[in-house]
Structure 1
Amino acid sequence: MTLEIAAFILSVSGFILVSSTLPTDYWKVSSIDGTVITTATFWANLWKTCVTDSTGVSNCKDFPSMLALDAYIQVCRGLMITAVCLGFFGFIISLVGMKCTRIGGSERMKGRIAVCAGVLFIFSGLTSIIAFSWYANRITAEFYDPMIIEQKYELGAALFIGWAGSSLSILGGAIFCFSLSNGKDSPRRGNGYDTTASLFSSRTMAQNVAEDMRSARNTWIPPKQFDKNAYV
């Protein structure tokens, strides 16, 4: 139960962090490398691009068409939505499969449900970490490409938050799966203890029987000698 509670806290925390990156603006921020005077700061996420001038006023523009976007942005959108959906279903199923709840049926059934929740959290973390890594790889590739003379960007805060949340989701899901394997070992340990006790009792019984036989031999009484007239 302690492992399941710890796994639930880690998984839900990771799910919340991953979900919070979707509306976060700073997926990538304009680089000031080699710039002496900065008059504006550009930043963008999966849904829009914005600019903030020196006075602090921000202007944002949504991406006009989904089909006109770059392929990596479309793929990252799909992966992030998939990760959020998997994490949500994992959160619901984990509430049913945990031992501290009163729903879910027998202990064996609740264990299987907890494993399903752990698998969903693991896939959610893997899906989201692929999206964050792909987006970051595109930013770094454009930053170090000498042929690109346009505005270059650096990694935003949303990517680091997403990597941390994905790691927590994977870790929590793994603990969910480990909790079931740990629970399966306890009956085996109990059976081993019963077998040892039965062997001990068998040896004790055999020793008692041997002692009874020895005492019977020591107390053997010879038969009485009768006279001849006793048979008449």
Structure 2
Amino acid sequence: MDPIVEVVALILGFLAWVMAGVALPNRYWKQSTVDGTVITTSTIYENLWMSCATDSTGVHNCREFPSMLALSGYIQASRALMIGSIVLGTFGLVATLVGMQCCKAGGENYVLKGRIAGIGGAFFLLQGLCTMISVSWYAFNITQDFFNPLYPGIRYEIGEGLYIGWCSATLAICGGACLVCACRSDTEDKVPYPYSATGRTVYSAAATSRRDGPPTYDKNAYV
């Protein structure tokens, strides 16, 4: 596996992991819209854990959601997916670090280290998918209520926390795809084949050296 690909994938995975950790506690997953409002006295914004409000004087008041079971299903699912995303990203970082050629933790077996790095790439892909599903599902519910003319509650718009989540998911998927594709091509190049594509036998280096060396005869040849 190309060391440059490993380093680039590790950087992308690390940035995705950090951004997922930033997006999870971010308060602005959705915020009340000012569309059609002449005078705005307060702004309401929410995330997966709490609901906050700020008035024109800049005073913030936040309250945590009192019951997890009383929440909407998509909020509970988004919580689980984001926490799972951070856990998967942690496994991906550890596996990628162990599988890098410059790391001595996995020994000198570069084929095994490449497979471990490929497993790290798979963890990054799962991290990106979990984050993408979480933020996209949350955004879908926001837009569904916003464009519903019969919705009686407060209308919200997409907050900055979702944009951070989308960036995190994109970086994780790109980093994981680089590792998985590089590991797959590297493994295919190193698999020994007994016969070539033309049907001729492919000899090993030891067999070639014996064939090209000086001829040897059995003792019966001199009789």
Instruction: Report the TM-score, using the length of structure 2 for normalisation.
Output: 0.82
The residue aligned with 1:130 is 133
Q: CA RMSD in A?
A: 2.1
State the secondary structure of the residue aligned to 1:104.
coil
Larger radius of gyration: 1
Alignment partner of 1:103 is 2:116: no
State the identity %.
Answer: 44
Q: CA deviation at 1:5?
A: 0.4
**Greater helix share, 1 or 2?**
1
The residue aligned with 2:142 is 139
Alignment partner of 1:116 is 2:113: no
On the 8 A contact 2:19/2:168 being kept in 1, the answer is: yes
State the secondary structure of the residue aligned to 1:74.
helix
Alignment partner of 1:153 is 2:156: yes
Greater CA drift, 77-86 or 173-182: 173-182
On the 8 A contact 1:139/1:154 being kept in 2, the answer is: yes
On the 8 A contact 2:111/2:187 being kept in 1, the answer is: no
Q: CA deviation at 1:15?
A: 1.2
Equivalenced residue count is 195
Q: CA deviation at 1:173?
A: 0.5
2:84 & 2:166 partners in 1: Cα distance? Answer: 16
Q: Equivalent of 1:30, from 26, 29, 32?
A: 32
Deviations 1:155-184 (A, max 9, x none): 000101100110100100010112213434
1:186 & 1:124 partners in 2: Cα distance? Answer: 28
1:126 & 1:187 partners in 2: Cα distance? Answer: 30
Runs of 4+ in 1 over 2 A off after TM superposition: 181-188
The residue aligned with 2:199 is none
Instruction: Report the TM-score, using the length of structure 1 for normalisation.
Output: 0.79
Which segments of 5 or more consecutive residues in structure 1 lack a partner in the other structure? 199-204, 206-232
Deviations 1:77-100 (A, max 9, x none): 111111111001111111101111
Look up the equivalent residue of 2:20 and give its one-letter code: V
State the secondary structure of the residue aligned to 2:53.
strand
